Structure 1
């Protein structure tokens, strides 16, 4: 019997190696930019969080001094409480508005594309421009919102000048300015819900509310988890609205963690301390995201 020649593995051809080289070249530039403008600044900020770096003057190694200082800083506690309050108001309201708008636009009606575009315009608009509009709307004397409340005999508050109402005013603006993105996500989720489920619910005698509760919401659990995670991250990073509308006032009632980081880093040049607060904020966001994921996973079981 003749010996069977061993099967040799074919090496990749020249065309394949050529494609691989081009693929690596295409990946190299984005990865380089990511490393230079994201990974490197994060690493530098992490190192600075253990120092008293202040742009000017000498830099000394403080080890865990900045992190220890955080837990004895009353202004950090105020900023943290304000951020949590903002999150508790912003996340549920953001989900409700985005889902409601998505359900209204998930219909075969004329000009629905125009409405989708109109609802998305605030997302791509400048924060300063939208804040200017809301600053006029919330004016205590001639603001449109207080004028509307006056039609019903309600004396509207001094929204941005009252420590009780300043945070709800910022939440209203933030929800209005950002619900367009979450609305589009919910629209995609609603398009994926099988029509047969609604038909079966209708045959079982379910009304609109029952169909929404027992069909729409369960089918949108993963979408809601994704949207809520985005909203939580966005809420803990809120800065523009507080900076433009209230500058953290009145009486520090709207100072948030990112705004406090900005004040420490660029206002008082305490870059090391600001870096430490940034990593504490990142840890807080991570914890909330994990808790949210666990809660949704428990419901899906």
Structure 2
């Protein structure tokens, strides 16, 4: 009886037209995915549309404000704090991204070995990434404090002069870059480590048989094999940098003298400190367009380089 029922079920399934089966599958899929999709779109597209409309007004978040057209966007050209925020964000991007990719791959290669306690070492590099950014900011703010910080205390014990660090306009952004690197590059290590474990051992052994040394194997086997992960991490890191906010908030609050103000922190200041939400929305949309352009350009460049190889 069971075999007969199974045969009838298969026969009825095969007798159903392909278009109807496809429609039934689509309906079933959207029944499960539809509610979550609507929620995600509601919490992303609706605020984006509202912020775009807000950028054309002089709203203070308390009142709708009046329509000022493109005045907010024109004001950005002559805004010195906006220009400073752009420079600070660009400096962070140039310092952090190459170092994160290079150090992430180097550490991943070292951790891709079967040695005693390797799981503990891998966890040590991941902990700063999964730790609370607020906690990390407060901790690092204490370590790099000019007067009572551990870092300056160590310098004094070594007979070196104390530094301004987070209180110095010339050093604060560099210190924040170091802190940001410490909290984020563990993600690159994990992603690269997963990619390295997918490389066939036969390929590495074949390179060794052909006489390739460690550097040649790294350059001609490992680096090309993880190229797609490098593109992903470059895009991910770029987004991380352009959204840099939490460490600034918990350490320097944009100071001293706007030396560490970033684009996102400036948007927050405009909206919730100065209550110029319309102008803040304009800055946010400039950031959105700039981020989109950089991501698309990076992906096209990576695709072109991949096609020429």
| TM-score above 0.5 | yes
2:31 to 25, 31, 42: 25
Cα gap change, 1:18/1:259 in structure 2, threshold over 3 Å: closer, same or farther?
Answer: same
Unaligned residue ranges in structure 1 (runs of 5+): 1-8
Please say if 1:237 is aligned against 2:237: no
Deviation at 1:152, TM superposition (A): 5.8
Where do residues 258-269 of structure 1 align in structure 2 (5 Å cutoff)? 258-269=264-275
Q: Report which stretch shifted further, 141-150 or 97-106.
A: 141-150
Give me the CA root mean square deviation: 2.5
The answer for the alignment partner of 2:217 in structure 1 is 211
The answer for the alignment partner of 1:155 in structure 2 is 161
Q: Distance in 1 between matches of 2:155 and 2:228?
A: 38
Cα gap change, 1:197/1:159 in structure 2, threshold over 3 Å: closer, same or farther?
Answer: same
3-state SS, counterpart of residue 71 of structure 1: helix
Q: Distance in 1 between matches of 2:217 and 2:20?
A: 59
1:116 to 116, 122, 128: 122
Q: Report which stretch shifted further, 258-267 or 113-122.
A: 113-122
Q: Distance in 1 between matches of 2:159 and 2:217?
A: 38
TM-score by length of 1: 0.88
Q: Distance in 1 between matches of 2:64 and 2:208?
A: 73
Unaligned residue ranges in structure 2 (runs of 5+): 1-14
Q: Report which stretch shifted further, 63-72 or 10-19.
A: 10-19
3-state SS, counterpart of residue 215 of structure 1: helix
1:97 to 91, 94, 103: 103
Q: Distance in 1 between matches of 2:72 and 2:104?
A: 40
3-state SS, counterpart of residue 294 of structure 1: helix
Aligned length: 294
Cα gap change, 1:153/1:283 in structure 2, threshold over 3 Å: closer, same or farther?
Answer: same
Deviation at 1:70, TM superposition (A): 1.2
2:185 to 179, 188, 196: 179
The answer for the alignment partner of 2:295 in structure 1 is 289
